[in-house]
Chains A and B, each alone.
Chain A
Amino acid sequence: MSESVEVKTLIINEKEVSARRGQTILEVARENDIDIPTLCHLDGLTDVGACRLCLVEIKGLNKLLPACVATVSEGMEVSTNTERLRKYRRNILELLFAERNHICSVCVANGHCDLQSLAQEQGLTHVRLPYRNPNLPVDASHERFTVDHNRCILCTRCVRVCAEIEGAHVWDVMGRGINCTVITDLHQDWGSSSCTSCGKCIQVCPTGALFDKSKIGSEHPKHPDFLPYLNLMREAK
């Protein structure tokens, strides 16, 4: 006997769509080929609503809601691509580019970087804000992998994949505000940490912050698509 599922209908960008109760706006939008930009979201990981790129407008609501965690409700009218939202998305990306040292031409992820593609997609042509140019370390102590904090955008995908999927919880975040960094264990070198060397964090990192030492830039496309499959197989038992 099948469980009864409550179905909602709502409107996204003037298109009527259906959804199951509890689905997020992002899930429903993507099912219907409506693109909402995301950065911290990754299919297969819990959502944290941190990057704020997926903010959408809901009719009758003053606040913008993150589509990755906001769930649908009956009759909801969602706009995902207004001029205001596009401006905020560009500004957020601009903040990221000015925050650390994102120099595409010398980055291993050049050409297959989520930050870079999003900037192109959102029409971020130049950065008006002063570059902060922080002096951040590179930890190459691991025999296979390297973390370059200059390219990290603190999306915490590595933290989540390590804790939720690998079950090792080697990665975490240290510090506050602009001084936050991802760390391995209790801020030990990656090489001497409890890392299992599974490499999942490398695959899910949206930029060139985490990369495989054995590969040169052009060989470094990442494959985060293994996650939903892995989850599916685990659930199937």
Chain B
Amino acid sequence: MNLDELELIAKSVRQENAVYDYELNVCMDLACASQGAEKLREALIAEADASGKKVLVRRTGCMGPCSSGPLLRVDPDETLYRHVRETHAQAIVNSLGGQPVAELQCDLNEHFDKQVRVVLENAGYIDPEKIDDYISRDGYKALLGALTEMTPQGVIHRITESGLRGRGGGGYPTGLKWSTVAKAGGDVKYVVCNGDEGDPGAFMDRSVMEGDPHRVLEGMAIAAYGVGASKGFIYVRAEYPVAVSRLTTAIREARRRGLLGSGIGGTTFNFDIEIRLGAGAFVCGEETALIASIEGLRGTPTPRPPYPAVSGLWGRPTLINNVETYANVAPIIRNGGKWFFNMGSERSKGTKVFALTGRITNTGLIEVPLGIKLHEIIDDIGGGVPGGHTLKAVQTGGPSGGCIPAHMLGLGVSYDALMAAGSIMGSGGMIVMDDTSCMVNVARYFIEFCMTESCGKCIPCRAGTAQMHTLLTRICQGTGTMEDLDLLIDLCDTVKNTSLCGLGQTAPNPVLSTLKYFHDEYIEHIVHKRCPAGVCNIQAPVEVLA
């Protein structure tokens, strides 16, 4: 396989598709599939056959606005239909060539206008199980281009130039990480993709792996070329069976096309990928625990340094990046580092995919240029808070993040700004909360999550999160005292600064940020025994009879 052959495949796919007058793209991502997208697709195929029109029915990855699912996009007109059922199939097929079906049409211009799609550029346009679909949209061009026209140093330079930072949460400069692994000694190195997405409410990586798996493989292969590795692992949580099956298919197809394996693109570069399944431990998303898990050990973190870039899998230099980070690689190689660098804010470049959930009209997957204001995401893209409620806070970064209050929605979304506000960018979960959420209860929820997901290796995280949970439960039940609050703050400090890995070090963030911005809610619970949002079930204090 070389660039010319790639172009031939792309051409033949375009020719095949040119036979059809219309393309019906059915979103088959989890949210749409759970509402009957598969039946809809079958009905559309049957109707299209019966009508005699030249129609291609294609299943695609996530289109974005999940709350409007099942979604259907009719091309070339780009008409988007929402809440489409199998019963609508006939009307839709009949409408082709005429007026669109008005009652199903959805106007989400505002939703899409402010988005910029880099990682999700293929989502909704390709069949994730067909490698040729991916190739027809410039797939693997970056890999073969890099292999034949660029040096490994050149690849790393381009990534460095782009300003890409790790999308898993930490925001470590990707180019710097790659160059560290490239410079590390030894002839055996590994490339690992972290697909152990576990934050509550986050599903960005799942959508990428399910909707555009080849993009991840291509990014990993380019990375392997850059750092000098010939073996890669994708660590996916077993709770994502569709992602696992799509990736498995993608790896098989890529091998068949000679895009993975030995002598890729007719060069001397060899690279192959294996899938490793996580067994449900959140902590295995932490890189040293992930390494232990791949090695077949108990998934517990180890102290860093040594960093995986120096001593990772089986003691070898190992590059670990998140799914979304790898998904950014191919477009950067294709379009140049400057192109990417010009998107985003001062120190946070490019775009970021967010899973927008909670009390918001348009829940779903969005991709926005970094630096975008939070209120633009909430009001313009998200369509605001439904049901006449008022927005109270936006939670980012999952259990490692914090809550940003409504008065700070002018904040530009970037690694540094979110950090300064007491939260983190995280992997991309964004949970919108309105006045029906109790912030003390929210903090308790996240601490409970960290408590049950702590691996138990280090004392501050194991016992500290459990104690914080006890204290927060007391406060929620109305039995907390001001001394408990002081103790809680003291524990936050200890757990944050003494825990072994990122899980413990960031576990207090939801408590600290709610204490910072919603201190009065804590006081209401403790002093006035009242939950302002009416969430906590506080019993009236029992009068002691004298």
A interface residues, Cβ below 8 angstroms from B: 48-52, 55, 64, 66, 69-71, 87-88, 91-92, 95-96, 98-99, 128-130, 132, 153-154, 172-173, 175-180
Contacts and interface: CB of A to CB of B under 8 A. Distances in A.
Nearest to A93: B459
A96 B466 contact: no
A178 B456 contact: yes
A176 B457 CA distance: 9
A92 B499 CA distance: 10
Contacts of B453: 176-177
11 contacts: A49-B500, A52-B499, A87-B494, A95-B464, A95-B467, A99-B463, A129-B491, A177-B455, A177-B456, A178-B451, A178-B456
Nearest to A132: B466
Cβ-closest 4 pairs across A and B: A180-B456, A177-B454, A49-B303, A95-B463
A153 B455 CA distance: 14
Contacts of B483: 128
Given A49-B303, A92-B460, A129-B467, A55 B498 contact: yes
Contacts of A129: 467, 487, 491
Nearest to A69: B303
Please tell me the size bucket of the interface on B: 20 to 34
A154 to B, nearest CB: 7
Contacts of A70: 303, 305
B473 to A, nearest CB: 10
B363 to A, nearest CB: 30
B68 interface: no
Interface of B: 281, 283, 298, 302-303, 305, 451-467, 470-471, 483, 487, 490-491, 494, 497-500
Contacts of A64: 497-498
B295 to A, nearest CB: 15
Contacts of A66: 303, 500
A96 B302 CA distance: 21
Contacts of A172: 298
B451 A177 contact: yes
Contacts of B302: 48-49
B487 A52 contact: no
Contact of A176 (B281, B459, B494, B498): B281
A164 B540 CA distance: 57
Contacts of A177: 451-456, 461-462, 465-466
Contacts of B465: 177-178
Given A52-B459, A52-B499, A98-B463, 4 more contacts: A55-B498, A66-B500, A130-B470, A178-B451
B462 A180 contact: yes
Nearest to A99: B463
Contacts of B464: 95
Nearest to A87: B494
A60 to B, nearest CB: 15
A46 B498 CA distance: 20
Choose among B457, B461, B471 the residue with the greatest number of A CB atoms under 10 Å from its CB. B457
Contacts of A50: 457-459, 500
B494 A92 contact: yes
A168 B95 CA distance: 73
Contacts of B466: 99, 132, 177-178
Contacts of A51: 458-459
Contacts of B459: 50-52, 92, 95-96, 99, 153-154
A128 B456 CA distance: 22
A120 B498 CA distance: 21
A208 to B, nearest CB: 18
Nearest to A47: B303
A180 B460 CA distance: 14
Contact of A98 (B283, B458, B467, B499): B467
A96 B463 contact: yes
B336 to A, nearest CB: 35
Contacts of A99: 459, 462-463, 466
Contacts of B451: 177-178
B460 A95 contact: yes
Contact of A91 (B298, B462, B471, B491): B491
B494 A91 contact: yes
A53 to B, nearest CB: 8
A87 B462 CA distance: 18
Contacts of A49: 302-303, 458, 500
